Structures are given as structure tokens and as C-alpha cells.
Structure 1
Amino acid sequence: MARLQRSFWQRHRFKLNGLILILPIWFYYESLHPEFPPALAAQNIGSYQITPMPFNLKAPYAHDGSFVKDFLLIFSQGDIAQIRQAYLNIGEQPLPIEQLQQGSDGILHGSRHGQHVHAIAPHKIQPQHKVWLTMQDWQGELLVTSWDVPATLLL
């Protein structure tokens, strides 16, 4: 026996299927057009010119037991093959290289086009914190520089 009146669900379920087919197109478009926050000012350290850029404006997240914030470091000048190790952390002072070497967080990795880093960060970034870059070359020379944390990253 056929129903004479269909329910709301029966009338509109195919529209839901159409929406499910359209959503991947929206997410694909979003993935092809990411919006990054502005980069921090470029600084010279030794023979390198470095520009750090945060990936997003979100708070640091938990990663392998500590809090980290993702950055991209662009080396405009200098040969990154001459860098033995480099670390990025956010805090009131740079972490000692001996402490940084104990874990895998905060170490720069990538190519000559850009170095990605999970910068070691506190749970909440404060105005007195700075973004610290610690680099060591193959001769053992230690280079340290810092950037002020932009107001957009303060939470």
C-alpha cells in the first residue's frame, strides 16, 4: 500500500546527498588557497638572512608530550648546508643547545626552499616571550637571534 503523504525526510533526503557531493569541492578549493598570517621581519644572523612565518594563528598544540607551534623559516641568504643543527623555541630566553639536542622537537628540517619546524612553545604565549632561533655550524660556532612575538599570536 502506497503512502499518500511523504515525510519531511523522504522529500529532502536527496538534497542531502547533493550537499555531500558538493562539500569536497569546497574543501579542495580551501586546500588550494591557504591563508597564512604575515611573516615576521627578516633578520641577518651570521651570513644568513632568515624570515620566520607562523603557519596559523592558533594556540600551540600538544605534540609528543610538549607544546609546539608550527613555523616556516625562509633562508634568503646563506648556504643551509653549512648549518649542523638549528632549533626554534618560544619563551623568555633561548633554551641551551644541550637541552635542545635531547629531543626531536624544535629542530629545523626541510629543503633550501624552506625549513619547517615544530617550535617548542609554552601552553600560552605571553607578551614577554620571544621567538628564539639557535643555530650551530660545522665549526661549532653558535648563533642565536630572536624576534618579538607578534600581537596576533598572543592568546
Structure 2
Amino acid sequence: MARLNATWWQRKKYLLHAIVLALPVWFIYQSLNPQFPALWQEQQAGEFKIAPMPLNEDAPYSHHNEYVKDFFIAFNQGDISNIRQAYLNIGEAPLPLTEFAKDEEGLMHGTAHGQHAHAIAPKAISADDKLWVTIQTWQGQLHTLQWDIPNQFISQ
């Protein structure tokens, strides 16, 4: 039997369905057009010229019971196959290689076009902290680079 008087819900439910169908379009657009902070200043370490870039401006997050911040590392010069191991950490000093050997956090991984790392970080980044990159080559050479942390990443 047909209703003669349509209720509010009967008149508006199709609008709700249209909104639900349109939302994936917005999320697909956002995922295909990500916004990243700018690359930091490029520095030279031995044969390598590298520039780090944080993947977002958020504070470090807990990952496997350790606080980390995600970084992309652009290798603008040098052969990545000459690297035995490379690590990132945020703090007042670079961590020793024995500290990195305990877990996979901080380890650079990726392709010749760029590396990714979950840089070991304190829960709140202070003005005294720096980003440290430690690179060990197959010949046993150890290179350490540092970058000052920009103000937008420092916790107040």
C-alpha cells in the first residue's frame, strides 16, 4: 500500500545516500595529492649528498613502544649500494650503532630514488634536539650529519 504523506525521512534519505557516495571521491583526491613539508638543507657526507624531509608536521608517535618520526631521505649524490647501514635519530647527540642494532627503528630502507626511516625521537622535541643521520659504508667509514630542527616541529 502506498503512503500518501511522505515523512521527513522518506524525503531526505536519498540526499544522505548521495553524500555517502560522494565522500570516497574526496578521500581519493586527498590521497592522490599529498602535501609534504619542504626538503631540509642538503649536506655532504663522504660521497653522499643527502636532504631529509619529514613526511608531516605532526609530533612523534608511538611505534613498537618507541617514539618515532617518519622521514624521507633524498640521496642527491652517491651510490646507495655503498652503504652498509644508515640510521636516523632525533636528540641531543647521535645514538651509537650498538643502540640501533637492538631494533629496526631508525633504519633507512627504500630504493635508489629515496629512503624512508622511522627516526627514533623523544616524545616531545625540544629546541636542543637535532636530526642525526649516521651512515656506515662497507669499508667501515662512519659519517654523521646533523640538522637543526625547524621551529614548527618543536613542542612548546
The interval holding the TM-score normalised by the smaller chain is: over 0.9
Letter in 1 for 2:138: W
Residue in 2 that maps onto 1:84:
84
Written as runs of structure 1 = structure 2, the 5 A alignment for 1:6-155 is 6-155=6-155
Q: Report how far residue 140 of structure 1 moved.
A: 1.2
Q: Report how far residue 38 of structure 1 moved.
A: 1.2
Secondary structure in structure 1 of the residue aligned to 2:90: strand
Structure 1 CA distance for aligned equivalents of residues 153 and 129 of structure 2: 11
Q: Report how far residue 3 of structure 1 moved.
A: 4.6
Structure 1 CA distance for aligned equivalents of residues 145 and 71 of structure 2: 16
After superposition, the C-alpha distances for 1:62-97 in whole angstroms (9 at most, x for unaligned) are: 111101100000000001100000000001111111
TM-score (norm: length of structure 1): 0.95
Greater shift in the superposed pair: 141-150 or 6-15? 6-15
Q: Report how far residue 101 of structure 1 moved.
A: 1.1
Structure 2 CA distance for aligned equivalents of residues 63 and 114 of structure 1: 22
* Structure 1, unpaired ranges of 5+: none
Structure 2 CA distance for aligned equivalents of residues 22 and 38 of structure 1: 31
Structure 2 CA distance for aligned equivalents of residues 102 and 29 of structure 1: 40
Secondary structure in structure 2 of the residue aligned to 1:71: strand
Secondary structure in structure 2 of the residue aligned to 1:11: helix
Letter in 1 for 2:19: L
Letter in 1 for 2:36: F
Structure 2 CA distance for aligned equivalents of residues 34 and 71 of structure 1: 15
Q: Report how far residue 6 of structure 1 moved.
A: 3.1
Alignment length (residue pairs): 155
